[in-house]
Amino acid sequence: MEEQTKLIINFLDIGTLLKIKKQCETYLSYTIDYKQLNDKNAIKTNQKYYGELLEYVNQVLVLKQVEQKESGGIKTDTIKSTMEDNQKTKTKKENKK
């Protein structure tokens, strides 16, 4: 797997990683279920690539879930959005004065 792909995967949130994991599992189960048909029609599959992708996504998921538990389960996105809302409220109050 390319390093650029790994870097991108490292920056994804847990929800997106779970979606990628599900898609990889779906693709791999398809290639396994229809292996004879694919071989008969000379259809090339990317089973090896998706297997590597699934393995790496699982590793990143484990690391992110451990980090989340260590940080007390606080999501930084929630903190950022709350701070932005507070700033908007302050500017509205200042504009009224």
Q: How confident is the model over 11-39, as pLDDT tens digits?
A: 999 999 999 999 999 999 999 999 999 88
Q: Is 77 exposed, middle or buried (0-12, 13-18, 19+ CB in 10 A)?
A: exposed
The span from the CA of 28 to the CA of 51, in Å, is: 7
Tell whether the model's pLDDT for residue 73 goes beyond 70: no
pLDDT in the model for residue 89: 57
Torsion of CA 14, 19, 23, 26, to 10 degrees: 100
14, 44 Cβ separation under 8 angstroms: no
Please state the domain extents for the chain: 3-96
